[in-house]
Amino acid sequence: MNYKTFETERLLLKPTNEEDADLIYKLLNTPKWHKYIGDRDVTSLEAAKNYIKTKMTPQLEKLGYGNYSVIRKEDNQKMGTCGLYNREGVKGVDIGFAFLPEFERKGYGFEAAKKIKEVAFSEFGINRIQAYTSQNNVASQKLLEKIGLKQTGTTHLPDDDEELFVYSISFEDI
């Protein structure tokens, strides 16, 4: 099936597929991923391909949206991911993002997340998006606020003891 790719001034956001295993392997093994998201036990390129195939592709096939690899147009460098997630055991759709350390603090996260938020409403007909972030992850909180989400409370995700901040925005809010 042919899924939508999105573009910003500097970025391409394309649905993550098995060709992105190198990016997913590196990203899921960064210290920040482990600290703020958790260890996904992706310890090889083969494990990264399997993670994409079993965790990312099924949602894309079912809903038409999911995880997007963020690629810098000028040199086709894969820098991170941004996407919309409909997680099992969690009500609603959430936005998430993660970048390799060398691409943080350059505005790429804002550019990608802003675009994904826009297409959630305009392309996919989602009426409300939310985000979950560690209470210690101030950079994530600032980015969510910068794209218009507001903190609306706290929660625990299934099988996780950490109390997370919840951010949200509705189509009517924009």
String of DSSP letters for 39-91: -----SHHHHHHHIIIIIHHHHHHHS--EEEEEETTTTEEEEEEEEE--TTS-
- Of 152, 88, 78, 144, nearest in space to 116 by CA: 144
- List of domains in the chain: 6-173 (3.40.630.30)
**CA atoms of 168 and 174, how far apart (whole Å):** 12
- The pLDDT value recorded for residue 149 is 97
The pLDDT averaged over each successive group of 10 residues in the chain (174 residues) is 91 98 98 92 96 96 96 98 91 95 97 98 96 95 97 89 94 83
What is the 8-class DSSP label of residue 95?
A: E
Whether 98 contacts 27, CB under 8 Å: yes
Tokens for 154, please give them: 């706290």
- The pLDDT value recorded for residue 1 is 60
